[in-house]
Amino acid sequence: MKVLITGGAGFVGSSLAKYLKTPQRAIQITVLDNLRRRGSELNLKTLRELGARFVHGDIRSPGDLAELHDEFDLMVEASAEPSVHAGTAGSPDYVVQANLMGTFNCLNFARKQADKFIFLSTSRVYSIAPLREIQLDETPTRFEIAAEQRLTGVTGEGISEEFATNLPRSFYGATKLASEYLMQEFVASYGMKAVAYRCGVLAGPGQFGKADQGVFTLWIANHYFKIPLTYTGFGGQGKQVRDLLHPDDLAQLITTHLPTLEKHSGRVFNVGGGADRAISLAELTSLCREFTGNTVPVSSVRETAAVDVPLYVSDCRRIASEVGWKPGRSIRTIISETADWIRLNESELKQIFSQ
């Protein structure tokens, strides 16, 4: 089996490659990446040791994809400008070119040279204003979904695929939603075998987190390196909630889904940790203190960014019902594995997380 992963030197892409490329699986892995994301170059050594082929290229350039003359059994589009703030304080050029035109180039390549195609989309396709209108209860450590709701697509299980996507959601979310539509058009026009996964927050070892993307891994790293943190928005108490997904659980979904993927062509699925793996920043702070043994000062900024939401939890019942998949790694596993990764690579990672 031959697999192409675009964005393959990044956190998610490299994690998928490491999971798939094992002695038990006769898989040839090719990863394509432009190495724009800080720290991604550190993953190349491990990828090469695994026997994966690395190609330095950019999905914005059709010519870079054309250099891949092989035909692939599976193409996973994991490349992206992943920041929800991208374009909000400057030009949207890169986020649109990478996340929309880049995905178009990948789809156009895959229709000729890949049997199956998985597009990693995002929960950020859901509209910001309705997400802020979800009725919430407030506890001492977090926001929670209230029992009674007036909006479609929200229950105690979280936000489902029926939730609103028709209002503004950020340049990042808009480019991902538009890419989902393109995927469906390629399926309808060319008979491609393709699906989209609307991923929640992915976190774990190997992620070079920043405040605008990968904040949960950043939280662990800052505790380890004793770097101060800030609760930002919604009163500045750290009560915002997200569900976390280990990348190995995503990889396990891919291997589970592949045999039946064709019958779901053109479909979108929420893929996240779900309600059982939802956590607030305030709760994460307590766990980080436990796993690192360190306490760092956490300041407070009450003002909320225009693209932020108080809560997002993935309702994954569709993928569970139709594919038979559920995540297996707990929040404590994610935190402990991430802390161990930082400890084992302390000298290299300190330079990255201290920037």
Question: Which domains are seen in the chain, by residue range?
Answer: 2-353 (3.40.50.720)
Contacts of 39 (CB under 8 A, 6+ apart): 208, 349, 352
Residue tagged 């436990």 (tokens)? 290
Residue-level pLDDT, tens digit, the chain, 355 residues: 999 999 999 999 999 999 998 777 789 999 999 998 777 888 998 899 999 999 999 999 999 999 998 999 999 999 999 899 899 888 999 999 999 999 999 999 999 999 999 999 999 999 999 999 999 999 999 999 999 999 999 999 999 999 999 999 999 999 999 999 999 999 999 999 999 999 999 999 999 887 767 899 999 999 999 999 999 999 999 999 999 999 999 999 999 999 999 999 999 999 999 999 999 999 999 999 999 999 999 999 999 999 999 999 999 999 999 999 999 999 999 999 999 999 999 998 988 887 6
Of the candidates 189, 202, 21, 15, which has an alpha carbon nearest to the alpha carbon of residue 110? 189
Angstrom distance (rounded) from CA 228 to CA 313: 27
pTM, two decimals, is: 0.96
Helices within the chain (DSSP H only)? 11-20, 44-50, 62-66, 93-96, 102-113, 128-133, 171-190, 215-225, 247-257, 281-292, 317-323, 331-344, 346-353
Two tokens, residue 58:
């950019």
**Cα three-residue angle 304-291-331, rounded to 5 degrees:** 60
